[in-house]
Amino acid sequence: MFHKWNTFQGEQRMASSIDQRFFPLIFDSISHGIFTTNPEGIITSFNCMAEKLTGWNRSEVIGRTCWSIFQTDLCKKSCPLEYSISTGQTGKDHEVTILKKDGHRIPVAVSTNALLDDKGKIIGGVEMFRDLCMETELKKRLKKSYVFEDIVSKHHMMQKLFKMLPLVAKSQSTVLIEGESGTGKELIARAIHNLGPRKHGQFVTINCSAIPDTIMEAELFGCKKGAFAGAEQDRDGRLALAQGGTLLLDEIDELSKQIQIKLQRLIKQKEYEPVGSTQTVRADVRVIASSSRDLAQLVTKRRFRQDLYYCLNVVQIKLPPLAERREDVPLLVQHFIDRFNTLQSKRISTVSERVMSMLMWYPFPGNVRELENAVEHAFVVCTDTVIQVDDLPRHIVEYFSKSSGRMQSSTPPLENAEAETIRKVLMKNNFKRTMTARELGISRNTLWRKMKKYGIKA
C-alpha cells in the first residue's frame, strides 16, 4: 500500500515536471491568442497566436499595459480583464474590436480569468481572444440575405415580396398595402419609392386617420386664400409637395366619401383642384395607399367606395402579422440591438435565452413596432451587456406571469414556428410536396425530413 502511494506521488511529480517543461510549447500551440498580466495590467506573457492576430511581437508588448496595446472600446469603460482580476470571476465571449499594430481594427471574442497562486491569492489575469473576422463576415452575408432596404425577414412570404418589390417599384401603378398596425406598411412604401424612378423626388406621407374631415381636403389638395375661414393665404397641399415623387395615403379607409370621390379623379385623370380654386392642376405623383383593415370587406359593407377600391388595388401587398412569422423574431431583435447600439452608444450584445424564449412566444398585437419598442425599453434600463427578463416592458413579463402554462411546450419556439409554416404552406398547396418545397425554397427531401420530424402527415 505504502509502495503504491509512493509510486503514485512519483508519477504525479513526473507529470508535473513534464507539464512545466512543455508549458511554453503548449502555450504557443493554442489556436487562440493568449496573454497574461500582473494585477496592474502589465503584460507578462504573449503567445504566438496573439502575435499573429495583432501584428505585435512579444518583445514589443511585454512590460507594457494591455490597454496601451489593444485600445479596445471597453478598455476605459468596463475592462473584462480588470473585472476578473478585481473580482476573481470569469468573463466569457465579450465581443470587442482591438487595434492591430498596422492601425487596422478587427473584431474578437474575449474571455478572461484571474490568475491565482498556490494559496489562492490573485497574482494577475489571463485573457484569451479569438478572431471574429470570418464569423462577422458570414453574419453580414447571412443578414444581408434577410434584409431588404430596412425590412428584415426570413419568412417565405416576405422573401417572395422582396423579389417582387423591385418589379413593383419600376412601374407607375398604384399600390395598396394591407396589414395589421405595426407590420411595416410604411417601410414597404418607402422601399417602393427608393427603388423606383421617383427616388430623387419627395416621399410624402399623410395619415388619413389623424386629420379631421373639415381640413383633410385642404391638407391633401391645398387651398386658395379666402376659400374658408382661416385661409389667409394660398397653401400647397401634400400632393403639391409630392410632385415628381410618391404620396403615401396611410389608413386610407378613414377618408370621407366626399374626399374619396376627388381622390378617384386624381388617380384616374392625374389632376385635381385646390379648395377654392377653379383651375385644374396636373399631378405627377405616384399614389400608394395603406390600411390596417380589409378594404374589400369595407366595400361589401358600403363603408368604402368600390370604384376607388379598384383604382387603388392595381398591385396589392398583404403583410403577415408578426405572430405568423415568429422565425423572424431573433433576426429582428438583433437588428434592433445593432441599431440602438449605434444610436445610444451602448455595447449590448444580445438577449438572454429566457428573454428570447419569451419574445418568441409573446403574441405581439402591435407587431414589429411593438417588438422594436420593447427592445428600446430594454436598452434604456439595461445596465449589462445582455438584456435580461427584468429589462423587458412590464406588460410582456406580466403576460407570462398570469399564465405559467403559456411556455410549457416540449418543442422550442423556433421549431414550432417552422412546423406551423410548413403546415400552412402544405394546406395552401393541397399537400402537394413539390409545390410546397418550391414555395418554401427547400428540396423535396428536406421537406420530407421536416414533415417526419414534426409529425406532419400528408
In a domain, 189, yes or no: yes
CATH code for position 433? 1.10.10
CATH code for position 191? 3.40.50.300
- Residue ending a domain, among 107, 134, 161, is 134
In a domain, 5, yes or no: no
Instruction: List, as one string, the DSSP characters of 250-271.
Output: ETGGGS-HHHHHHHHHHHHHSE
Handedness of CA 352, 358, 361, 365 (dihedral sign): negative
Q: For position 230, what pLDDT does the model report?
A: 66
Q: Is the pLDDT of residue 73 over 70?
A: no
Task: Report how far apart, in Å, the C-alpha atoms of 441 and of each of 160, 206, 208, 266 are.
Answer: 10, 37, 38, 41
State whether 152 and 237 are in the same domain.
Answer: yes
State whether 67 and 182 are in the same domain.
Answer: no
State whether 403 and 420 are in the same domain.
Answer: no
State whether 193 and 298 are in the same domain.
Answer: yes
* The three three-digit cell numbers of residue 243, written as one number: 410632385
State whether 172 and 304 are in the same domain.
Answer: yes
For residues 402-420, give the mean pLDDT.
Answer: 58
State whether 171 and 302 are in the same domain.
Answer: yes
Q: For position 124, what pLDDT does the model report?
A: 92
In a domain, 8, yes or no: no
Rg (CA), the chain: 31
State whether 397 and 341 are in the same domain.
Answer: yes
How much is the mean pLDDT over the chain?
85
Q: Which of 297-306, 333-342, 431-440 has the lowest mean pLDDT?
A: 431-440
In a domain, 180, yes or no: yes
In a domain, 11, yes or no: no
Residues 265-323: pLDDT tens digits?
999 999 999 888 888 999 999 999 999 999 999 999 999 999 999 999 999 999 999 99
Judge contact between 444 and 437, C-beta under 8 A. Answer: yes
CATH code for position 72? 3.30.450.20
Question: Alpha-carbon distance 175 to 166, whole Å?
Answer: 13
- Residue ending a domain, among 320, 342, 371, is 320
State whether 314 and 327 are in the same domain.
Answer: no
- Residue ending a domain, among 134, 159, 194, is 134
Domain count, the chain: 4
In a domain, 10, yes or no: no
Judge contact between 244 and 197, C-beta under 8 A. Answer: no
State whether 264 and 345 are in the same domain.
Answer: no
pLDDT band at 3 (very low <50, low <70, confident <90, very high): very low
CATH code for position 342? 1.10.8.60
| pTM for the model | 0.64
Residues 180-199: pLDDT tens digits?
999 999 999 999 999 999 99
Residues 32-68: pLDDT tens digits?
899 999 999 899 999 999 999 999 999 999 999 998 8
What is the domain range of residue 165?
146-320
In a domain, 196, yes or no: yes
Question: Backbone phi, then psi, for 173, in 5-degree steps?
Answer: -70, 150
State whether 341 and 268 are in the same domain.
Answer: no
- The candidate with the shortest Cα–Cα distance to 381, out of 389, 373, 391, is 391
- With a CB cutoff of 8 Å and minimum separation 6, the contacts of 80 are 74, 91, 94, 110, 112, 127
State whether 292 and 152 are in the same domain.
Answer: yes
In a domain, 1, yes or no: no
State whether 304 and 398 are in the same domain.
Answer: no
